[in-house]
Structure 1
């Protein structure tokens, strides 16, 4: 399955949900239970949350293709092939645990797996962590989706992703693996659109995270 095929599946699910409003109704319940640190501005918070979910899902095939292009251009395509196969596999060969989820709800879970996989790959390599390729807004978006999926299932997904990353990395040496060629390539235009997407995904939907720290005085 290619990113283009995944995009077509997403478009079909989006169109179907537009006729039934099934997932929007589910989000209405989630909206009432949002964590206190998450705020949605504007007069139509349900619409904003629904648009966020759609954009988050739609970004997944773009992420896969962006990684592929950057890796190939950097001459390290073989190193990232397992990531691309795994991320694509979330859509083409989903776990049996996802059998009961369909439509946008199922796609949100698969997109979450894809985005969290990239986040963990980033966190577990020195070259990546020193590169600032991923923005804090990406982590915040993942946190929001984690909340929308709900616990304990979202925690189970996170645990499975950690196991997958260890399998993909292959050895403890992955942390020190020099991925500078990829980082340098990702600093080019192929990656910039994705950074802009992450930077603006929350704000253009009126979603804010408010972290407060108690004074120690």
Structure 2
């Protein structure tokens, strides 16, 4: 499955949601019980959370495409192929864990799997961790989606992702692998759109953390 195919699936789900509003109904209850880490400064918290969730889902194909392009330009496309195959596989061949989750709610879970996979890839390599490519806001967004999905299911997804990463990486050598060529590619304009998207995603929808990851890092 290509990023373009995923984009089409998302567009169809957004259109169905506009007609039925089932996901927004589910978010209404979650907005009322939102975790204390988050503050929604909007007249309609449900609409704010829906706007955030929709954008989070819609950016997923772009993330996959951006990683692929940067890897190919850096000459490490083969190394990133398993990660990208797994990321697109979340949409093409969803886990049995997602049985019963449809529409935008199901796509939010798949997008979360994809974003968390990339986050773990980032956390498990020295070159990535020293690059500051992943904005704190990306971690914040993933944490919010974790709470929107709800526990214990979100914890099950996280555990499955950790197992998947270990299977893909195969050994501890990945941590010390020199991925500076990828970092160099990701530091140019090919990555800038995603940097801006992540940095403003929460604030753009009137959602704020009660503490700053930046001050804690």
TM-score range with shorter-chain normalisation?
over 0.9
> Residue 68 of structure 2 corresponds to which residue in structure 1?
68
CA drift at 1:45: 1.5
Matches within 5 A, 1:165-204: 165-204=165-204
CA drift at 1:14: 0.4
Number of residues of Structure 1 aligned to a counterpart in Structure 2? 212
RMSD, aligned α-carbons:
0.8
Q: Which runs of 4+ in 1 moved over 2 A?
A: none
SS in 2 for 1:134: coil
Long gaps (5+) in structure 1: 213-217
CA drift at 1:167: 1.0
Cα distance in structure 1, aligned partners of 2:42 and 2:7 = 29
Cα distance in structure 1, aligned partners of 2:97 and 2:162 = 17
> Residue 98 of structure 1 corresponds to which residue in structure 2?
98
> Residue 88 of structure 1 corresponds to which residue in structure 2?
88
Cα distance in structure 2, aligned partners of 1:162 and 1:45 = 32
> Residue 129 of structure 1 corresponds to which residue in structure 2?
129
> Residue 43 of structure 2 corresponds to which residue in structure 1?
43
> Residue 2 of structure 2 corresponds to which residue in structure 1?
2
CA drift at 1:78: 0.4
Cα distance in structure 1, aligned partners of 2:37 and 2:93 = 35
Cα distance in structure 1, aligned partners of 2:162 and 2:42 = 36
SS in 1 for 2:146: helix
Cα distance in structure 2, aligned partners of 1:157 and 1:44 = 29
Long gaps (5+) in structure 2: 213-217
CA drift at 1:42: 2.0
